[in-house]
Structure formats: C-alpha cells, structure tokens
Structure 1
Amino acid sequence: MQPKARHAYLPGLAALLVAAVTGCSGGSQGGGSTSDSKPGGPTTVTAAQPGKYRTLREACGTVPRAVLKELLPGVASLPEAQQAKAYRGTPSVTYDTDRRVGCAWKADSPDASHQLAIDLERVVSYDPTVSDADRAREVYEKQQLAAGVPLTDAQSDASATASPDSDTDTAPDTDTSSESASASGTPASTSTSTKTGKTPQSGTAPASPTASTTTSGLEPRTLDSLGDAAFLNDVLAHSGSAAQRRTVSVVFRTSNVIVTVRYTEQPARSSEVPDSAELQDKARSLARKLRDQLND
C-alpha cells in the first residue's frame, strides 16, 4: 500500500512545480514592457540630444598673455612680480567648474583703469525632451532681451518652432540667472519672459543707472559670424566720481555653451570719454579667440 501512496503523491508535486515555473516565466517576460505592448499604452520617449560640450576649460588660462598686455596697458608699468600676479587673474567662485567658469583681471595706470572679465557657462537640460543646445538658446535669449537687444526674426522663429505651446520661458538653470545678467552689463533684477523679439515698451534698454551708447553703428546689437548667436552691449555710465566708465559686453552661444566677454575702461580725467569703437573692437577680437578655442 505504501508504494501506491507514493505514486499518487508524485504527480501532484510535479503539477505544482510546473505551475510555479510557468508563473515565473510569464512574470519575467512582461516585466517593465507590458504597458508598451498594449494597444493605447504609453509610447517610448526619445531623449533629446546631449550638448556638444561636456566640460569647460580653466578660464584664467584661456586669454593669451599678448592679449592681456593689450587690454590691460597699466600692467606693463608694474614690477615683474606684480605683473605676473595681475596677468594670472582672479578665478570666479562657482559651484561646479564643469558647468561654469570665469576669470577677472584689473589694471590701473595714470591715464585710465581697465577691467576684463570672461564667463563661460555650459548649460545642461534636465528635461529629456529638450536638448542642451535648445536649453542654452533659451538662457541666451533671456540675456539678450535683458540687455535691450531685440531678437532677430530667425531667433523668434526658432523659439516658436522649439516650443509652439509655451508662452513663457523655462526657469534658468541653477544659480546662473543673476550672474548672466551681470555679465551682459544689465542689472541682475532685470528680466523678461517674452520671446516676441520686441524691445521693452520704452524702446530702449531696461531702466538702470547706466545709459547705452547712441553712436550710429555702435549701438547694442546682434552680431554675425560669432557662434550660433551673438550680441553686443555698450553701456556708458558715471561712477561715484565724475569720471565716465564704459563697459562693452560681447555674449555669444555655441551649442550648449554661453560665453561672455566684458571689457571696461574708466579714464582718469572726468572730461574724457572712453572710445566706444576701440573697446568694441578689442572685446569682439577676444570673443573670436575664445570661440576658436571652443572649436579646437
């Protein structure tokens, strides 16, 4: 009788084992992809392309010594040790040097004081449907509008194509908005959410203690042949003394990197006004060199 009991038990155990194996196999085949295979289920979202640039160069070493000598003439009169320190520059304090770097130089001479600053920002989009380059374009255009430089028709069309259902800009990355505004020569509190290509209602740059140059052909404007997009801002202001200070900013974007060159001159004599054309030429020349470095 004992063998018959064993014979009846084994088939039942085998059936349980078969059912268990079948259940496990079915679960492993459908894990994570069942919803995609059902009619009307969610579709796979293709991630946007990452930016061209994954890192940034050390900023203080990007400007050649020969260029610094030209932009900071007062350094040549300093003792050798002080010259070396002045040419090294002061790096900007940033939270992540893979995302943002900068450097500043300053030199005083009997005739004038000069300041130079560069800023490089690598923009990263955390939205999988928006590429790094498109996110950088949004950040760049906010800076351009904040400087009172209207968007070109091509820029407005590109913005409308990239986000046809959006009426406002995406919030800027991390802590870059105030620094970007400062780099373009405008107050950090000045901002705009429109992408219509129109200037503020007054038709001039946003109200501030500064006033843009009105010299024909040298006014704030967009620039050609400098990255994917570029603009120039020229601001003439009075400092605490009676001397006038001119700051020229050149901002350009190439893929997901935004570069700012800011060059300032303040003459020692209150009767003198810094030459707009000269400062613009020097700032644009340096911007082209930085562009070429990015393309290397």
Structure 2
Amino acid sequence: MAYATGAVLIAALAAGCTSDSGASDSAPDDKPGIVAPSSAPPGKYRTLPDACRAIPRATLKDLLPGTADMPEAQQDKVFEGAATVTYDTDRRIGCRWKSDVPEGTRSIHLDFERVVSYDTAVSDDDRAREVYAKKETAADLPDTGLPPESPDASPSGSGDPDGTDEADTGTEDAGADDKGATGDTDGTTSGSPADSLQPRLLDKLGDSAFLDDALSRAGSPARHRTVSVVFRTSNVIVTVEYTAQPAMPTEVPDSKELQEKAQALARQLVDSFNE
C-alpha cells in the first residue's frame, strides 16, 4: 500500500513538471505590442548574367572589325572572351574581348556589378544609386543641364559594407586625359557637333547613365581612345568600355563611331535585363 502511494506521488510530480514547461514555452508569444522591425525592399536582381555570353556573336563581329576575315578557330577564340577574375560572381562579373588586325586593335570590357545593401533601413536600389553617383562624380563630366543622380537623394548608410565605395570611371587607359572630339552623333546634349561628343549624362538608358570619352595624349607611340558607358538599372551597375588603337601612330580613333557603337551595345544590354 505504501509502494502504491509513492508511485502515485511520483506520477503527480511528473505531470506537474510537464504542465509547467508548456506554460513557460508559450509565455513569450503572449506578450502584446511586439512588432518585427521592417526591412528595406531587396533589389530587383538577385543574380548576374554570364558576362562572356552577354554580347551576341553578330554584335561582337561589328564591334571587332576584321574578325570576320579570321580563320574560324581564331574567331572562336576571340569571341569566347576572357572572364574577369572576381571573388564573388553573384556580386560582380566581367569579360574582355580583343582583336588584333593589320588595321589596329579593338577591345571591349564589360563589367556587371550587383549592389547589395547590408543596412536593413537602406534598399539595394538606394545603395546602388550612391555607388553609381560616385562613379558619375569621378568622371568629372561637363555641365550638360541634365540632373545628376545624387547619393543623398535617398536614405543611405554612411559606411561601405559591400566594398564598392571606391570611385571607378570605367576607363583603364593610363594617361587618357584628352576628352571629346569633333563630329556629330545622336548624343543627348544640344549645341555644336563638337559639344554633342563631349563626355555627358545620357537619358533614356536604364535608370541613370553617363558617357566618358578619353583619348591618349598627343605624342604617344600609338593614339588610343576609350569610350565608356556606365548605366544603372535597379541594383545593377553596368560598365561598357570600348577601345580602339589604330596601327598608324598618326591616326586618331574616331570618337563618333566609338560612341555610337558603345551606346548601341549599352541599349542592347539594358533590353536584355528587362527581358
């Protein structure tokens, strides 16, 4: 009889412990007034396309004149491109193409950068606006009358958590400090033909865009010109660099041709992002 009483007591104690544990686990859920903090919306793009496959073969043939006359195996090697070395292809990816023909050298550098904000109060798009604006400022464009995209136009963090704060005009040619040329094009500025070829902001290209045009110094062994088009679409920043170096050191690369082709490629890339 005493044994049975002890067993009943142990069972009662065990039941009491189980009941208390359940009440303790549910207590935090019953507290009123607790709201999860809101986060800024993520960017439109979560991944990046393969840069070396971003330009159709027909477009590469147009941008790299003389390649159509190469043997097929040599063409394949040129059009394959060389991927840019990056540490995170979800955040940054690029590719380079280059052709050497008797008339001279042409090269293309394409860079995709997907901007991510690590501040929950700042959206990826707002952070991308800030990164793009620094590139635009670094290009030191003449005043064209179009409003620049200011990094202070929307809330943003003060730090550089994604490592993209460094300004990059997208022009890699050392000593390329003579900008613009003469001629005329379909640029977005008004005035004389020479003015229309100056480095400038571009409208109707992504969310924001600008064009830079840099010619190597006179007296260089070979004159080369690099036209850069940089545009932002949502939280991705795209840089197109198109360079020409004629075989003859006295020949100056044509600004109009390079600008038209670089802008056409940029428009093609914008359309591919919107597909």
Amino acid at match of 1:181: D
Question: Larger helix proportion, structure 1 or 2?
Answer: 1
Shift of 1:47: 1.4
1:10, 1:187 → 2: CA distance? 89
Q: Deviations over 1:35-67 (max 9, x none)?
A: xx46xxx75311111111122221111111111
Amino acid at match of 1:251: V
1:231 correspondence with 2:210: yes
Contact 2:118–2:162 (8 Å) recurs in 1: no
Structure 1 residue aligned with 2:168, among 176, 181, 194? 181
1:76, 1:240 → 2: CA distance? 32
Shift of 1:86: 0.8
1:193 paired residue number: none
Structure 2 residue aligned with 1:102, among 75, 90, 94? 94
Amino acid at match of 1:228: D
Q: Deviations over 1:111-170 (max 9, x none)?
A: 2211111111112222222211112111111111111137954623x733324xx7xx53
Q: TM-score, normalised by structure 2?
A: 0.81
Q: Deviations over 1:226-277 (max 9, x none)?
A: 1111111111113994321110000111111111110001112222211111
1:86 paired residue number: 78
Moved over 6 A (4+): 9-13
Q: TM-score, normalised by structure 1?
A: 0.76
Contact 1:147–1:185 (8 Å) recurs in 2: no
2:155 paired residue number: 162
Shift of 1:106: 0.7
Structure 1 SS opposite 2:152: helix
Contact 1:112–1:265 (8 Å) recurs in 2: yes
1:201 paired residue number: none
2:189 paired residue number: none
2:238 paired residue number: 259
Structure 1 SS opposite 2:154: helix
Contact 2:126–2:154 (8 Å) recurs in 1: no
1:107, 1:148 → 2: CA distance? 30
Amino acid at match of 1:30: A
1:149 paired residue number: 141
Q: 1:86 to 1:154 in 2, by over 3 A?
A: closer
2:191 paired residue number: none
1:1-296 correspondence to structure 2 within 5 Å: 6=5, 14=12, 18=16, 20=17, 23-31=20-28, 34=31, 37=32, 44-149=36-141, 153=147, 155-156=149-150, 159-163=152-156, 169-171=158-160, 173-174=162-163, 176=164, 181=168, 184-185=170-171, 210-213=177-180, 215-238=194-217, 241-296=220-275
Structure 2 SS opposite 1:181: coil
| Equivalent residues, number | 260
Contact 1:138–1:170 (8 Å) recurs in 2: no
Of 84-93 and 235-244, the range deviating more from structure 2: 235-244
Contact 1:108–1:114 (8 Å) recurs in 2: yes
Q: 1:154 to 1:81 in 2, by over 3 A?
A: closer
Contact 1:100–1:119 (8 Å) recurs in 2: yes
Contact 2:117–2:161 (8 Å) recurs in 1: no
Contact 2:211–2:228 (8 Å) recurs in 1: yes
RMSD between superposed Cα atoms in Å: 3.2
1:205 paired residue number: none
Structure 2 SS opposite 1:271: coil
